Amino acid sequence: MDNKRCFLIGHHDAPESIYPALQKEIERHITELGVNEFIVGHYGNFDRMAARALVTAKQIHPEISLWLLLPYHPAEHKVKAPEGFDGSFYPEGMENTPRRVAIVKANRYVIDHVHFLIAYIRYPGSNTQKLFEYAKKKKLQSSLI
């Protein structure tokens, strides 16, 4: 089976009110689009909601996998993947990336290696907005929550 990967990005202060729409979009990606691998970060409310929705989805769809994106080298900044995750992922070639741009560079790397993007954009002109636009230019199938 070919892996179809989806990355989820959104603002750290995403409101809890988007959770049902996020769950619905994740379910659609699994059942209609055949996504079987998801990647999510861990630095804000959107990431926490995405992780919670995906861990719940794994109970219904045990064939999916869930990976935690690590923007900082694991030897420098140890992070244990939370329960329900299949592991963590540190992008190749990021070892010498300055900390101030590590998250943006890691996100861009993932966008370059996935098929789908689910995003929540609260602030125009933000890095999340720029990454969404970058994904559209790459012709990724992108969904906004």
Higher pLDDT: 119 or 140? It is 119
Residue 8 pLDDT exceeds 60: yes
Per residue in 78-107, pLDDT tens? 888 889 999 999 999 998 899 899 999 999
Question: Class for domain 13-74+90-144, per CATH?
Answer: alpha beta
| Closest to 145 in 3D by CA, of 126, 125, 127, 122 | 122
Residue 1 pLDDT exceeds 70: no
- What's the mean pLDDT when you consider all of the chain? 93
| Residue ranges of domains in the chain | 13-74+90-144
Per residue in 9-40, pLDDT tens? 999 999 999 999 999 999 999 999 999 999 99
Amino acid identity for residue 67 in this structure: W
Q: Strands across the sheet with 37-40, in order?
A: 87-89, 65-69, 37-40, 5-10, 116-120, 141-144
Q: What is the pTM of this model?
A: 0.93
- Which residue, chain included where needed, has tokens 């199938």? 141
Contacts of 46 (CB under 8 A, 6+ apart): 8, 9, 10, 11, 12, 14, 120
Q: Where does the pLDDT of residue 58 fall: very low under 50, low under 70, confident under 90, or very high at 90 and above?
A: very high
Q: Where does the pLDDT of residue 125 fall: very low under 50, low under 70, confident under 90, or very high at 90 and above?
A: confident
